[in-house]
Amino acid sequence: MSSLAALSSGSGASASDLLRSSSSGVIGVPLRILGRSGAVSVDLRRRRRGVNVMAKIVKKGKVKHEYPWPDEIEPDPNVKGGILSYLSEFKPLKEKPKPVTLPFEKPLMDLEKKIMDVQKMAAETGLDFTDQILSLESKYEQALKDLYTHLTPIQRVSIARHPNRPTFLDHVFNITEKFVELHGDRAGYDDPAIVTGIGSIEGRTYMFIGHQKGRNTKENIKRNFGMPTPHGYRKALRMMYYADHHGLPIITFIDTPGAYADLKSEELGQGEAIAFNLRTMFGLKVPIVTVVIGEGGSGGALAIGCANKLLMLENAVFYVASPEACAAILWKTAKASPKAAEKLRITATELCKLKIADGIIPEPLGGAHADSSWTSQQIKLAVVGAMNELLEMDTPTLLNHRMLKFRNIGGFIEGQPIDPIKKVNMKKKEEPVIDIESITEISTLDLEQEVEKLKDQIQKSRGNRSSEPINVGVNDLVVKLKEEVDQELTEAAEFMGLTNKLDMLRNEITKARSSPEQPMDSGLKDRIEKLKQEFEQGLADYPNSGNLNYKLNMLKELSKAQKVVRLKQELNEGLKVVMNRSDLKQKVDMLKEEIANAGVSEASELDDGLKEKILKAKEEIASELTKTLKSMNLDVQLVASKPLCAELKKRADELSSEIKERIKEAAESSDLKSKIETLKLEVEKAGDSPDPETRRKLLETNEQIKNSIAKALNSQEDLKEKYETLKKEVRRVYSENAPEEESSGQNGGLNHGVYNPESNVSSTISSQT
């Protein structure tokens, strides 16, 4: 048995300083190893059963205190931060950050370089260049002002992501008198991408929570580029509960591209952590003010952004998806990010208009990184002002204020009529990316307006039954568009440096065509194909490629429309020639007279002899029309329709009669009958030439009656079942008897007058009114 004995020397021994031993030797760390770190005192005492070894380690060197500042420094409590400044790991950088020039700032850098060159020349030569330097500095200041007062949305995104932009802790140490950072989510983790702590501003204590990016590559890796994991959001949640319990107002700073979206974060519940924060923030009984100091990306920003007041720095952005991601989804290329940034409305000005942001905090010219201290003081003024306003509210008012802020987000336009022609179920055609700088003689907007006018005229011409062709001006527009496309293609070739190759190839093709007896050389064909591929590959880098592709697509559509208009004119001309023939015209007039003398209202009531005459006349007209169109070099095929067998035709007529009876029964119902009577009276009052408003009301009432009857008819399952059965039998008969090329797509005329509720309803209403 081994025993423990107290050390005879030293009063500060603890249980960890004692080493256990046995008769077989020392158990634990060897004494020679312990001896390396300090002096070891050993007392060996012989006992009846074994040897007891007692040792104490005396460390050499200075004793480390429990506080982080050295003894020789006496922290001055009057200095900002006092001894708390030693508790933070966030220290000033040893090296000044390198200046970073954004792409749109290059003209400013050129002016700055000229100023430096003139100053250097003045120093070297000893000449006085004061006037020139002042002139250049004045130009620089004016250019800086013009640039930063007319920034585009994508340029503001670049400023918000600037590597030297002040971070959350930069602003916190600038605006607080004292600040101490709090760590951990009490589940074993401490995410450095979210920093929390308690600080005081003008004697009032606040809870600070914010995303923390790095100031250099090393810090960015440590902070995960400001993208929090679930541990970070749970740490923020713990601090929110802490602030709510102690009545501390909360200030959050948003600066993140989004929550970290790796596999581990998803496994640990990234979405759940964000959702829990969203729910909790709406129930906190203390005021919350959020400041967007950089970029606020999606739910990763909103997880600490459900505040009573949302303030944004002038060049900050707040978005649900980054412009690059949006452009890749909608336009399939990241080059469209400027357009995406504009459409997303992510800048502070746009978000204030949409009432998402509640205020804009100004930045110095050049961005927040140009003067971070001044920017921090502007943040302090805005936050203190917002807090003073919120602290005057009682708890129910505060919670209701926070709820109403988010309930009022989102604008709706009510009371405006919806275009009935608009196909709401069709995907809207994607607009190409247009480069504004290279708009030529006729702008894209003008072309769009001309195309829309053209479409309207073609749409109107469809309802025009006259045989006279309608001049829609397609030819002129196609010629204009071809000229523009040729000009654009020429400019694209110059941009890619292919002008000489094209000229040489064009000359060779001209020579090859001059001798039609000889076929084109295969080598020349390969060169043409190779140049074509090279041109298509380089077109992606052409700045105005979007506009060019748009005009090419428009040219294709107009060419199709041109063919349709030409074909329609030729068909009308051919039909006019056939119908003006005296013998055919006489036959048609005689048939009309016989039909009128028969005194029937439906085609099914005609006798067989008259039906036979009508069929013969139709075949003769179709045959003559085919001949005429063929003489006009049009490819025409005459498709003969086969009549239904007697039994199926009889069943179709019976079904049609039954449908008409059901329509009459529906029209006789009390509500529809009153509507029809009202429509009769309105028609009588309007007379033969009603005003546009009366005509619109009559058409609306007529449409309502038709829809009501059609709805009543569609609810009768027995009619539907009879119709479907008859349709299947007709298809079966034609599939057995008709040739393959004729059977497809034909139903023997079943849809004509059998189950067309709208046409039958129309005829019924017409007969009643």
Other Cβ atoms within 10 Å of 748 Cβ, number: 21
CA 647 to each of CA 158, 168, 609, 638, 755: distance values in angstroms, whole numbers, following the listed order: 78, 86, 19, 27, 18
Other Cβ atoms within 10 Å of 78 Cβ, number: 6
What are the residue ranges in the chain where pLDDT is below 70? Answer: 1-87, 411-474, 514-520, 543, 599-606, 632-647, 670, 733-769
CA 368 to each of CA 109, 397, 542, 744: distance values in angstroms, whole numbers, following the listed order: 18, 35, 35, 71
Cα(581)–Cα(617) distance, rounded to whole angstroms?
Answer: 13
Q: Report whether 354 contacts 406 (CB < 8 A).
A: no
Q: Report whether 544 contacts 433 (CB < 8 A).
A: no
Closest to 316 in 3D by CA, of 288, 340, 296, 286: 296
**What pLDDT sits at residue 569?**
76
Q: Report whether 623 contacts 638 (CB < 8 A).
A: yes
SS (H, E, C) 638-696: CCCCCCCCHHHHHHHHHHHHHHHHHHHHHHCCHHHHHHHHHHHHHHHHHCCCCCHHHHH
**What pLDDT sits at residue 93?**
80
Closest to 550 in 3D by CA, of 444, 705, 425: 444
Closest to 322 in 3D by CA, of 258, 403, 395, 408: 258
pLDDT in tens, 547-585: 777 778 777 777 777 777 777 777 777 777 777 777 777
Q: Report whether 309 contacts 386 (CB < 8 A).
A: yes
Cα(476)–Cα(484) distance, rounded to whole angstroms?
Answer: 13
Identity of the residue numbered 315: N
**What pLDDT sits at residue 603?**
63
**What pLDDT sits at residue 541?**
73
CA 526 to each of CA 473, 505, 507, 530, 535: distance values in angstroms, whole numbers, following the listed order: 39, 11, 16, 6, 14
Which residues neighbour 354 within 8 Å (Cβ) at sequence distance 6 or greater?
345, 409, 411
What would the two tokens of residue 758 be? 């709208």
**What pLDDT sits at residue 412?**
59
Closest to 333 in 3D by CA, of 344, 320, 324: 324
Q: Report whether 577 contacts 628 (CB < 8 A).
A: yes
Closest to 289 in 3D by CA, of 389, 221, 426: 389
Cα(387)–Cα(249) distance, rounded to whole angstroms?
Answer: 8
**What pLDDT sits at residue 744?**
40
Q: Report whether 636 contacts 642 (CB < 8 A).
A: no
Q: Kindly report the length of the chain.
A: 769
What is this structure's pTM?
Answer: 0.49
Q: Which residue has the tokens 């013969």?
A: 616
CA 22 to each of CA 25, 26, 320, 472: distance values in angstroms, whole numbers, following the listed order: 5, 6, 69, 111
Q: Report whether 706 contacts 663 (CB < 8 A).
A: no
Cα(331)–Cα(653) distance, rounded to whole angstroms?
Answer: 55
Other Cβ atoms within 10 Å of 331 Cβ, number: 18
**What pLDDT sits at residue 490?**
81
Measured torsion, CA atoms of residues 184, 185, 186, 190, in degrees rounded to the nearest 10 = -40
Closest to 362 in 3D by CA, of 376, 344, 342, 352: 376
Pairing of strands 21-22, 57-59: unpaired
Return the CA Rg of the chain: 43
Cα(432)–Cα(549) distance, rounded to whole angstroms?
Answer: 8
Which residues neighbour 316 within 8 Å (Cβ) at sequence distance 6 or greater?
156, 160, 292, 293, 294, 295, 296, 348
Residue 368's Cβ-count burial label (10 Å; 0-12, 13-18, 19+) is buried
